[in-house]
């Protein structure tokens, strides 16, 4: 039990649609990161929010966007869905920036998105 919950757990969308994935972090965790994990691969960094501001982004197009809210929840939005967006999307939260002061990140169970 990591205290990080994601919803929904599974989702099927049609190509071209938009999707919003949600994450509820542990209280007091100022940093949330989102990852995409395709089958057989490790989590790929999408972006990171610290105190409601984006402060790092991986190699993902602008149609991947996010929000972080004061109540320690966050969203990942993906517009114009493509078939290759099918993956497990993981949210991770930490008290500080990951790695700072020995801080590890706590992951949710993920949202399995299938684009058809």
Partner 1 sequence: DQQVKQNSPSLSVQEGRISILNCDYTNSMFDYFLWYKKYPAEGPTFLISISSIKDKNEDGRFTVFLNKSAKHLSLHIVPSQPGDSAVYFCAASADDMRFGAGTRLTVKP
Residue ranges that bind partner 1, judged by CB under 8 A:
2, 4, 6, 33, 35, 40-45, 48, 55-56, 58-59, 90, 92, 97-100, 102, 104-110
Q: Which is nearer to partner 1, 17 or 84 (CB)?
A: 84
Q: Give the 3-state secondary structure percentages of the chain, helix then strand then coil, rounded to 5.
A: 5, 50, 45
Strands across the sheet with 5-7, in order? Answer: 5-7, 19-24, 73-78, 64-68
DSSP 92: E
Question: What long-range pairs does 65-69 form, CB within 8 A, spacing at least 24?
Answer: 66/34, 68/32
Q: Which two tokens stand for residue 54?
A: 């984006």
Nearest to 25 by CA among 4, 48, 6: 4
Q: Which is nearer to partner 1, 28 or 42 (CB)?
A: 42
Q: How far is the CB of 16 from partner 1 (least distance, A)?
A: 29
Q: How far is the CB of 15 from partner 1 (least distance, A)?
A: 26
Q: Which is nearer to partner 1, 35 or 72 (CB)?
A: 35
Q: Which is nearer to partner 1, 56 or 67 (CB)?
A: 56
């Amino acid at each position: 039990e990591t205290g990080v919950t994601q919803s929904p757990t599974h989702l099927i969308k049609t190509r071209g649609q938009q999707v919003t994935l949600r994450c509820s972090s542990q209280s007091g965790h100022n940093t949330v990161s989102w990852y995409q994990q395709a089958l057989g691969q490790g989590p790929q960094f999408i972006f990171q929010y610290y105190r409601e501001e984006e402060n790092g982004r991986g190699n993902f197009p602008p149609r991947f966007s996010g929000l972080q809210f004061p109540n320690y929840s966050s969203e990942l939005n993906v517009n114009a869905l493509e078939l290759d967006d099918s993956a497990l999307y993981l949210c991770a939260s930490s008290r500080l920036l990951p790695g700072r002061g020995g801080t590890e990140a706590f992951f949710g169970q993920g949202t399995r998105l299938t684009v058809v």
